[in-house]
């Protein structure tokens, strides 16, 4: 299988913006599942990032390679695109079709690195259940458990612990994750996020704070506005205190709640 773009049947890309029936018609009319557009974006990658699990399954069944890189520099992977958006059903479909869970895309990111860093706990659970390695570090050498503690998603931390991120030999990573969780639990998170944005983009812009529940976990987001329009933003989950308490139990030799060896403490689907 070559990674060279196959530039044909643009109707397949039009079909992705319609519905699954349109995708079926395009494939039956001769569109190739491995098609890519003029920028090198594959149909499978587009379906993955748009959270179209039905279309993803159709393309995979028609022969699309789940690991084929996409984009002008062939640097984007369907699994990473789906994980970045928290599209759990798409992630499961790609893994079932043989996508390699720890394959790195451009800049060294894996699907798990994206999902952990963005706090997509259900997607993290699906990736771990599909064979992603919880101890594989990110492109800067960052342990996944530390990244999850910084993010503040308690469910993500529990998922990683359930798959061995707090096992014997991982004391250093657990200790750093605990320190980070304690540090962030002691901060005014809204002010900390605003400080980070102003450090990067300067002061004087209006700021908007939003709090949401995502899969049962609270998130706080801070956006800077320029002329009334969003100019930059950053968000975090707010479970740092709970994560610190959980990791304190791990350091004392306790077993993380709701975990058993090899089993995910959260339902990925």
In a domain, 36, yes or no: yes
Query: 23 lies in a domain?
Result: yes
Per the domain annotation, does 99 fall within a domain?
Answer: yes
With 0.75 as the threshold, say if the pTM is over it.
yes
74: tokens are 């062939």
Q: How many domains does the chain have?
A: 1
Residue 98 in any domain: the answer is: yes
- Over residues 126-152, the pLDDT tens digits come to 999 999 999 999 999 999 999 999 999
Read off the CATH number of the domain in which 78 is found.
Answer: 1.25.40.20
What are the C-alpha distances in Å from 169 to residues 164, 174, 175?
10, 10, 12
User: What angle in degrees, to the nearest 10, is found between the helix axes of 171-185 and 240-251?
Assistant: 150
Assess if residue 70 is contained within a domain: yes
pLDDT digits 0-9 by tens, 194-221: 999 999 999 989 999 999 998 889 999 9
C-alpha dist (Å) from residue 199 to 93, 94, 184:
40, 39, 18
Asked if the structure places residue 122 within a domain, the reply is: yes
pLDDT value at residue 253: 78
Task: Give the pair of three-digit tokens for residue 182.
Answer: 């304690």
pLDDT, one tens digit per residue, over 93-118 is 999 999 999 999 989 999 999 999 99
**Residue 82 resides in a domain:** yes
Q: Give the domain extent around 34.
A: 9-132
Residue 247 maps to a domain: no
Q: Give Cβ neighbours of residue 232 (< 8 Å, ≥ 6 apart).
A: 197, 200, 201, 223, 224
């Amino acid at each position: 299988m070559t990674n060279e773009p196959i530039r044909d049947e643009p109707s397949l890309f039009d079909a992705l913006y319609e519905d699954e029936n349109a995708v079926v018609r395009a494939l039956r009319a001769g569109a190739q599942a491995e098609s890519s557009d003029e920028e090198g974006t594959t149909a499978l990658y587009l379906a993955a990032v748009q959270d179209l699990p039905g279309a993803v399954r159709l393309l995979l069944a028609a022969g699309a390679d789940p690991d084929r890189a996409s984009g002008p520099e062939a640097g984007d992977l369907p699994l990473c695109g789906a994980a970045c958006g928290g599209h759990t059903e798409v992630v499961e479909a790609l893994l079932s079709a043989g996508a390699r869970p720890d394959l790195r895309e451009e800049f060294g990111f894996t699907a798990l690195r994206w999902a952990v860093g963005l706090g997509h706990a259900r997607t993290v659970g699906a990736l771990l259940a599909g064979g992603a390695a919880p101890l594989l570090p990110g492109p800067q050498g960052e342990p996944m458990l530390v990244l999850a503690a910084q993010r503040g998603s308690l469910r993500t931390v529990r998922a990683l612990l359930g798959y061995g991120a707090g096992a014997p030999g991982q004391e250093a990573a657990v200790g750093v994750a605990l320190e980070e969780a304690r540090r962030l639990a002691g901060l005014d998170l809204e002010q900390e996020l605003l400080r980070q944005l102003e450090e990067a983009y300067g002061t004087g812009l209006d700021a908007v704070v939003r709090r949401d529940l995502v899969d049962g976990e609270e998130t706080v987001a801070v956006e800077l506005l320029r002329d009334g329009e969003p100019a930059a933003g950053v968000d975090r989950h707010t479970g740092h205190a709970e994560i610190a308490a959980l990791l304190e139990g791990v350091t004392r030799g306790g077993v993380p709640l709701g975990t058993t060896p090899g089993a995910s403490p959260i339902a990925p689907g």
